[in-house]
Structure 1
Amino acid sequence: MDKTAALGRMSAGLFNEFQPKNNGVFSNYPKNSPFSSRPFRASHEPLDENKNKFYKELGMFSLRKRIEDSVLRAEMMAPTALEHEETKHINQEKVIRDYDLWDDLGKSNEILIKLADSAKVVDTLRDLKFKAEDAKLITELAELDSINYALFKQAYSASLDVNKILDKYEMSKLLKEPYDMEGACITVESRSGDIYSERWAGQLARMYMKWAERQGHAGRIVEISHSSKNGIKSSTIELEFKYAYGYLSGERGVHSMIRIPEDKSLLPKASLASVDVIPLFIESSPDLFIDDEDVLVSYPCKTLSAVHIEHLPTGLEVQSSGERNRFANRIKALNRLKAKLLILMNEQGISSVKSINRGAIMDIWSQETRKYMLRPTKMVQDLKSGVQIHDVSAVLNGNLDPLIAAQISLRRNSSVN
């Protein structure tokens, strides 16, 4: 069947079956906006709406350009990436055929997990090709149908999915550090005794929950300590999906909200909250031996099941209070301690807990990561990468991707150098 016939079939109703993910891009625009979902036909526009017609055509030109860029990006990257991942998957299948899975059950489980992960990547890249083809065909049909704006919306929605898949694939190739593939445990803590910092900490916790939601996953608040005035003293969030730690490890440090008083004679005030991120081992417990004599276990609340553990040689402290009993909280706290120690060992380039240099451990409150300013200038300034974003609301609503991408690139360049 040639392209004209294919497009004809699609115009007869096949698009009713195509339901791209709604990214909310067009949902908040008024009916008279150039981003309205109403179809636009140039030949039907009244003569007294030339200005409105111009803006509609300008909006469609911009959409068409974005769709074309996404399709071109997919056509350039997808075939090579798919061929690479399919070859990798075939080789992994060959390893399984040649390997006796009963010889080493632990190794066998690792091989099977890698095989399953590889199959998911292959399926995603194949789906990417279909989405790019859909976007291209919808665009062609929209132009045949006197520039139907509703179809351009569908093509644009498909192109957003294409770019999202490619962005994730590209970033996953950059995340090669140990534990990057693990989930993430995020702890947000406010500066003690400051109500503004306590409210700011609550806002940061919501920001990470919204980011996880944008990734298609649900974050889980496992522990929270509320303040008396609608804020939080601390909050712990667990993200149980792959690469969460690799994406968010650059968030570690102090995040400050800068408030500029209307009276210019007064100095700016800062609300401070610290963010700590450690790997959350989803499929296995962290493999690290800790001598019982090196840990001090305490129970902060006699009536609750909370467990606090201090690692005496390094001074690291962790706690867990989200489980139902002390035994479960002790296991979780110990796993968090192991995760912290593994990160320290990796950062210091050592292979033994005994070799950790306590003097080289940086206090999280001494690491400035990001500043958020709402007035008079709206800006988010990432102090590690130098990236500046003026849409503060978008960042606080979970759009962290530009900041995360900059952090990942910075880590990659630092490791290369």
Structure 2
Amino acid sequence: MLAEPAFLSRAASTCLKWQSSTRNTNKSHAKLLIYARIRPSHSMDDENKVYKELGFFSLKKKIEDAVLRAEMSAPTALELEEVRRIKQEEIMRDCNLWDDPVKSNEILGRFADSAKAIDSLKDLKYKVEEAKLISQLAEVEGINYQLFKQAYSASLDVNKFLDQYEMMKLLKGPYDMEGACVIIKAGSGGLNDEKWAEDLLNMYIKWAKKLGYKGRLVEKNPSMTGYGRVQLATIEFEFECAYGYLSGERGIHCMINSQNGPVQYENSSACVDVVPLFLGTFSNLQINDEDLIISSSLLRKEKSPTKPTVCIQHIPTGMSVQSSSERSHFANKIKALNRLKAKLLVIAEEQNVSDISSIKKDTIMDMCHKETRRYVSHPYKLVQDVKTGIKLPDLNSILDGYIEPLVEAHIKMRHTE
């Protein structure tokens, strides 16, 4: 906070010299480019200057595009969010929040979301002004490349926020605003499948980290081969919209490595399941005890008998869930039961039925057993999403957590449907 007035003072004093120095600055800048082009040989410092000048134009264009995008969309978004907050305040005044705790939690949650969006949009306005001011200051100082990099960093924050905000507005599902529980299970192919499951685990953890969040690894069952790979892993993402973002990841993920064309190739697979993780709310879904088969067993290599794996099977639908992350049998039972409820609610929504007793077992579309995505590592690199048809050539970037294009494609597909 102490550095801000000094920075603004510096910017103001520099801008006072703008009219008298602009012409000379532009002339010297032009001479620099011409001189660098006609010299038969030049030093490394001169070469770096030329590259910086060329990079300046690219950075400036990206900064201007981000600022223009924010100036066109942010005011309208802010106005809509303020109208939304006013409506939520009216609902809160007209409704007795003490009579219905479930409804009151929903109303208060929506109000909090609207207030949070308004604060973020106001912060975005300051971020845009910061990018513009630093960019202008960089030009005044004879094209200060480091300042342009700083302005570009601010413009990246602007684009990142707008991307997330626009995607969030497309999330219309009943559970899209909830957290997500991602369960990764290696195929039955042995070491290669288990290594691939570990790669997927790291991909989702890196994805969350890029968004500024942390994925909590609650279960990691070691490989049966003893090589430290992953047989089963469960990650919990405790942030809003995580389920809306990741629900399209459900299904079989295949890694293809072809050494001699179609004659000889390695195909590794892992199953990814995604269920809602309710944040601050609890499902009031009731399940009859006689519809459940509950069993427990100790995790392999676990010395303490106080942390058993609890498995629950729902007889009417045949679905099974498990939990082993908690310290007691009772706590694991509660967590497994919550996961089962979440899965049943999702299936009921997909089948458009109001009660889980109306779920048709014969028509359950278990997306976990359908192919979702193919990753090709050899002889070329390619990521192909089966559901949306999108193809991306940068396999390494995807495995490093940059799955935003795939997530965005799924959200837009669901929105159009």
Higher deviation after alignment, 99-108 or 116-125: 99-108
Matched residue, 1:37: none
For structure 1, the residue ranges without an aligned partner over 5 or more in a row are 1-5, 15-39
- How far is 1:90 from its partner? 1.9
Q: Is the 8 A contact 1:379 1:392 kept in 2?
A: yes
Amino acid at match of 1:283: G
Matched residue, 2:316: 313
- How far is 1:376 from its partner? 1.9
- How far is 1:41 from its partner? 7.4
Q: Is the 8 A contact 1:274 1:364 kept in 2?
A: no
Instruction: Please state whether the residue corresponding to 1:277 is helix, strand or coil.
Output: strand
Instruction: Please state whether the residue corresponding to 1:166 is helix, strand or coil.
Output: helix
Instruction: Please state whether the residue corresponding to 1:300 is helix, strand or coil.
Output: strand
In structure 2, distance between residues paired with 1:7 and 1:404: 39
Higher deviation after alignment, 403-412 or 87-96: 87-96
CA 1:126–1:237 in structure 2 vs 1: closer, same or farther (change >3 Å)? same
CA 1:284–1:275 in structure 2 vs 1: closer, same or farther (change >3 Å)? same
CA 1:350–1:8 in structure 2 vs 1: closer, same or farther (change >3 Å)? closer
- How far is 1:7 from its partner? 9.0
For structure 2, the residue ranges without an aligned partner over 5 or more in a row are 1-5, 15-27, 300-304
Q: Which of 285, 289, 295 does residue 288 from structure 1 map onto?
A: 285
CA 1:210–1:281 in structure 2 vs 1: closer, same or farther (change >3 Å)? same
RMSD: 2.3
Q: Is the 8 A contact 1:42 1:146 kept in 2?
A: no
Matched residue, 2:112: 116
Q: What is the identity percentage for the equivalent residue pairs of Structure 1 and Structure 2?
A: 53
CA 1:189–1:61 in structure 2 vs 1: closer, same or farther (change >3 Å)? same
Q: Is the 8 A contact 2:323 2:333 kept in 1?
A: yes
Matched residue, 1:241: 239
Instruction: Please state whether the residue corresponding to 1:198 is helix, strand or coil.
Output: helix
Matches within 5 A, 1:103-142: 103-142=99-138
Matched residue, 1:254: 252
Amino acid at match of 1:355: S
Matched residue, 1:190: 186
Instruction: Please state whether the residue corresponding to 1:290 is helix, strand or coil.
Output: coil
Matched residue, 1:9: 9
Matches within 5 A, 1:10-25: 10-11=10-11
Q: Which of 214, 218, 223 does residue 214 from structure 2 map onto?
A: 218
Q: Is the 8 A contact 1:89 1:119 kept in 2?
A: yes
- How far is 1:169 from its partner? 0.7
Matches within 5 A, 1:226-375: 226-227=222-223, 228-261=226-259, 263-264=260-261, 266-301=263-298, 303=305, 304-364=307-367, 366-375=369-378
Task: Note if 1:377 corresponds to 2:380.
Answer: yes
In structure 2, distance between residues paired with 1:51 and 1:362: 60
Q: Which of 56, 75, 78 does residue 79 from structure 1 map onto?
A: 75
In structure 2, distance between residues paired with 1:100 and 1:162: 39
Amino acid at match of 1:294: D
- How far is 1:108 from its partner? 2.6
In structure 1, distance between residues paired with 2:13 and 2:312: 63
- How far is 1:397 from its partner? 1.0
In structure 2, distance between residues paired with 1:362 and 1:267: 32
Instruction: Please state whether the residue corresponding to 2:297 is helix, strand or coil.
Output: coil
- How far is 1:307 from its partner? 0.6
Instruction: State which structure, 1 or 2, has the greater radius of gyration over its C-alpha atoms.
Output: 2
Task: Note if 1:404 corresponds to 2:407.
Answer: yes
Amino acid at match of 2:411: I
Q: Give the structure-2-normalised TM-score.
A: 0.87
In structure 1, distance between residues paired with 2:192 and 2:110: 46
